[in-house]
């Protein structure tokens, strides 16, 4: 954690710090356990930092983008447009046109009307665009953080009507159906649930491919692999998961129809989540009605998810460490952010080594859905810096200086308020 502290000190807080060594190690695990059958698609939405994408490029098969902005980020990070797949429920015509024109790998169709639009655009541009149909299964097993299927949904084409949709899309000029995509549940730590979901995918891929009468070239399995965010949660047992999933995929690929299918695990948080920390400085300390309160320079404006406001019903404390005083005597604290609202809470009743003004606290599990999934404009506090660690070297990957106070320069609470450890 010393590297994390030094990195944050060098750019000032708040700062997101990402460790590439951890990311590479996690890719090593994926390759070892799943590489025989699967490539990996990284979901840019989980962390679209361009320097990070540049580092991920050699490790992944494809980049999953969900807006033209993410297409541009992928291209800036050096991705070949043929290695981009574009999903998302509300693609503007201009986005579809821009993506097709730049030589996009596959457009992931979320509906028949979108397919008609894409067909018209491809014809207008005089090209044939490879497409995948996103299917929305009738059922998602329990134990996923968020379900996108099994109910009315903006994502994909409902399994119940996908036969007719496949017939229509197959007949559209300018589009070449080369496979299918399913992403129906995120953030599961349950091996049985994920394995069952993969069986649902396989069954649906088979039926859809039969109906389309194609030998699919690509099948995207929305992994749903989760990470532990809170005390009491354990990491996914990846060995057990591979043992459950791989035989089913071996069997699928042994069928002549699927012999050439390029199977892809699509995911974001499992790869980058545990490799990132949000480092925040303690700006103020007080006691109120018997509770020790520490106010930090980052709150939900910088990390909505850690404050329990992204897809969670009950806010629970994330893993937080005191980087400045790791050996101090433990005490209980209410950790709040800098915003003028009672809901700006990082942790309640959290036990930490004594926390003083100027200390740096690190919120773990923050590599995915951090800065870009947070309302950073609220109350005009400076946006966090972003730093990429690669072995002993460090790259300042900060993209936005929004709200960095022009007259004061970069806010460094530690320097301003003085460390009192
Ligand atoms: C289509 C699609 N792909 C990939 C992801 C990435 O999910 P995760 O970061 O949980 O792996 C999502 C998340 O919502 C998604 O909707």
The secondary structure element, H or E, covering residue 178 is strand 175-182
Return the pLDDT at 140: 87
pLDDT in tens, 177-227: 999 999 999 999 999 999 999 999 999 999 999 999 999 999 999 999 999
- Looking at 221, 244, 267, the residue that finishes a domain is 267
105 within a domain of the structure (yes/no): yes
Residue 66 alpha carbon, nearest atom of ligand 1: 1
Same domain? For 85 and 212 the reply is: yes
- Decide if 264 contacts 40 (C-beta within 8 A): yes
φ/ψ of 77, rounded to 5, equals: -80, 0
Query: What's the pLDDT score for residue 117?
Result: 98
In a domain, 91, yes or no: yes
Residue-wise pLDDT tens digits, 361-395: 999 999 999 999 999 999 999 999 999 999 999 99
Position in ligand 1 atom list of the atom nearest CA 108: 1
Q: Ligand 1, from 41, 108, 267: best to mutate by most atoms within 8 Å of Cβ? A: 267
User: Do the Cβ atoms of 204 and 135 come closer than 8 Å?
Assistant: yes
pLDDT of residue 40: 98
Whether residue 135 is contained in a domain is answered as yes
Residues 302 and 375 in one domain: yes
- Would residue 343 count as lying in a domain? yes
Is residue 89 in a domain? yes
- From 267, 290, 318, the end of a domain falls on 267
Q: Is 148 helix (H, G, I), strand (E, B) or coil?
A: coil
Shared-domain flag, residues 111 and 172:
yes
| Domain CATH code at residue 383 | 2.40.37.10
- 206 and 344 part of one domain: no
The pLDDT of 265-273, averaged and rounded, is: 98
Nearby residues of 346 by Cβ (< 8 Å), 6 or more positions away? 280, 296, 298, 299, 303, 306, 307, 318, 320, 335, 336, 337, 363
In a 10 Å sphere around its CB, with 0-12 CB exposed, 13-18 middle and 19+ buried, how is residue 202 labelled? buried
What are residue 390's phi and psi, to 5 degrees? -140, 100
Q: Which residues contact 176 (CB under 8 A, 6 or more apart)?
A: 128, 129, 130, 131
Percent of the chain with pLDDT over 70: 96
The per-residue pLDDT for 409 is 56
Task: Report whether 34 contacts 246 (CB < 8 A).
Answer: yes
Question: Which amino acid residue places its CA nearest to atom 15 of ligand 1?
Answer: 183
User: Tens of pLDDT along 322-341?
Assistant: 999 999 999 999 999 999 99
**To the nearest 5 percent, what fractions of the chain are helix, strand and coil?**
35, 25, 40
The pLDDT value recorded for residue 416 is: 56
Q: How far is the CA of 165 from the centre of ligand 1 (A)?
A: 24
In a domain, 92, yes or no: yes
Question: In the chain, how many domains are there?
Answer: 2
Amino acid 413: pLDDT: 47
284 and 248 in one domain?
A: no
Residue 235 and residue 384 in one domain: no
238-253 helix and 20-34 helix, angle to the nearest 10 degrees: 50
Atom 14 in ligand 1: residue holding the nearest Cα: 186
Q: Kindly compute the dihedral angle of the four CA atoms of residues 187, 114, 204, 159, in this order, to the nearest 10 degrees.
A: 90
CA of 186 to the centre of ligand 1 (A): 6
Dist. CA 46 → ligand 1 center (Å): 7
Query: What is the Å distance from ligand 1's center to 268 Cα?
Result: 6
Same domain assignment for residues 239 and 307: no
Q: Is the dihedral of CA 97, 103, 109, 113 positive or negative?
A: positive
388 and 372, same structural domain?
A: yes
Give the pLDDT of residue 2.
92
Shared-domain flag, residues 332 and 409: yes
State which ligand 1 atom lies nearest to the alpha carbon of 270. Answer: 11
- The least confident of 84-98, 204-218, 351-365, 391-405 is 391-405
**Measured in angstroms, how far is the CA atom of residue 32 from the centroid of ligand 1?**
22
CATH number for the domain including 218? 3.20.20.10
Q: Give the pLDDT confidence score for residue 406 in this predicted structure.
A: 64
**Closest ligand 1 atom to Cα of 225:** 11
113, 137 in Cβ contact below 8 A?
no
Q: How far is the CA of 380 from the centre of ligand 1 (A)?
A: 29
Q: How far is the CA of 164 from the centre of ligand 1 (A)?
A: 27
> Of the residues 38, 40, 42, 43, which should be mutated to test ligand 1's pocket, given the most ligand atoms within 8 Å of the CB?
43
Is residue 405 over pLDDT 90?
Answer: no
Q: How confident is residue 310, by pLDDT bands cut at 50, 70 and 90?
A: confident
- Give ligand 1 pocket residues (Cβ under 6 A): 43, 46, 64, 87, 183, 186-187, 222-223, 266-270, 368
Cα separation of 206 and 412, whole Å? Answer: 56
Which atom of ligand 1 has the smallest separation from the CA of 148? 16
Question: In the predicted model, is pLDDT for residue 99 greater than 50?
Answer: yes
Give the model confidence (pLDDT) of 161-175 as tens digits: 999 999 999 999 999
Task: Output the CA 87–ligand 1 centroid distance in Å.
Answer: 10
Q: Which atom of ligand 1 is nearest to the CA of 269?
A: 9
Q: Which atom of ligand 1 is nearest to the CA of 146?
A: 14
CA-nearest residue for atom 13, ligand 1, is: 186
**How confident is the model over 43-68, as a mean pLDDT?**
98
DSSP-assigned letter for residue 173: T
Q: Which atom of ligand 1 is nearest to the CA of 226?
A: 10
- The residue range of the domain holding 201 is 80-267
Residue 365: partners with Cβ closer than 8 Å, 6 or more residues away: 227, 228, 229, 273, 274, 276, 306, 318, 319
On the question of pLDDT at 122 being above 50, the answer is yes
Last residue of a domain, one of 244, 267, 290: 267
Is 292 in the same domain as 402? yes
Of 159, 112, 160, 119, the C-alpha closest to 136 is 159
Tell which one of 222, 227, 366, 368 to mutate to probe ligand 1, the residue whose CB is within 8 A of the most ligand atoms: 222
Rg of the Cα trace of the chain? 23
**pLDDT attached to residue 419:** 46
Among candidate residues 323, 218, 297, the one with its CA nearest the CA of residue 261:
218
Same domain, residue pair 88 and 228: yes
Same domain, 87 and 111: yes
What number of H helices and E strands is found in the chain? 11, 20
Is 33 inside a domain boundary?
no
Residue 94 lies in a domain: yes
In the reported structure, the alpha carbon of residue 134 is separated from the centroid of ligand 1 by a whole-number distance in angstroms of 13
Rounded to the nearest whole angstrom, what is the distance from the C-alpha of residue 291 to the centroid of ligand 1?
38
Q: How far is the CA of 64 from the centre of ligand 1 (A)?
A: 9
């Amino acid at each position: 954690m010393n590297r994390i502290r030094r990195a944050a000190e060098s750019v000032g807080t708040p700062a997101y710090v990402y460790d590439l060594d951890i990311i590479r190690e996690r890719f090593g695990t994926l390759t070892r356990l799943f590489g025989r059958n699967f490539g990996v698609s990284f979901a840019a939405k989980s962390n679209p930092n361009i320097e990070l994408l540049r580092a991920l490029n050699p490790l992944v098969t494809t980049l999953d983008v969900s807006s033209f902005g993410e297409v541009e980020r992928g291209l800036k990070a050096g991705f070949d447009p043929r290695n981009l797949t574009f999903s998302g429920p509300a693609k503007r015509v201009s986005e579809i046109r821009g993506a097709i024109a730049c030589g996009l790998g596959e457009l992931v169709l979320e509906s028949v009307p979108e397919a008609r639009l894409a067909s018209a655009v491809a014809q207008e541009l005089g090209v044939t665009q490879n497409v995948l149909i996103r299917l929305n299964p009738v059922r998602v097993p329990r134990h996923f953080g968020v379900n996108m299927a099994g109910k009315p949904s903006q994502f994909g084409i409902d399994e119940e009507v996908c036969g007719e949709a496949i017939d229509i899309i197959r007949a559209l000029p300018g589009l070449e159906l080369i496979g299918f995509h399913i992403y129906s549940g995120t953030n599961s730590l349950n091996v049985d649930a994920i394995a069952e979901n993969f069986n649902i995918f396989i069954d649906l891929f088979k039926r859809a491919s039969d109906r389309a009468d194609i030998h699919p070239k690509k099948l995207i399995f929305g992994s749903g692999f989760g990470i532990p965010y809170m005390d009491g949660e354990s990491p996914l047992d990846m060995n057990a998961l591979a043992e459950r999933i791989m035989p089913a995929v071996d069997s699928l690929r042994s069928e002549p129809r699927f012999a050439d299918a390029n199977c892809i695990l699509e995911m974001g948080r499992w790869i980058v989540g545990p490799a990132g920390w949000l480092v925040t400085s303690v700006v103020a300390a007080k006691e109120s009605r018997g509770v020790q309160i520490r106010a930090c320079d980052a709150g939900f404006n910088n990390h909505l998810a850690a404050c329990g406001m992204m897809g969670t019903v009950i806010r629970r404390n994330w893993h937080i460490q005191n980087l400045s005083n790791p050996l101090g005597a433990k005490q209980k604290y209410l950790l709040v952010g800098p915003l003028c609202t009672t809901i700006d809470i990082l942790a309640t009743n959290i036990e930490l080594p004594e926390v003083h003004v100027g200390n740096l606290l690190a919120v773990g599990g923050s590599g995915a859905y951090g800065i870009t999934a947070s309302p950073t404009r609220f109350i005009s506090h400076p946006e966090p810096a972003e730093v990429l660690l690669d072995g002993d070297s460090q790259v300042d990957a900060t993209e936005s200086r929004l709200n960095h106070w022009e007259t004061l320069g970069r806010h460094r609470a530690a320097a301003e308020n003085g460390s009192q450890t």
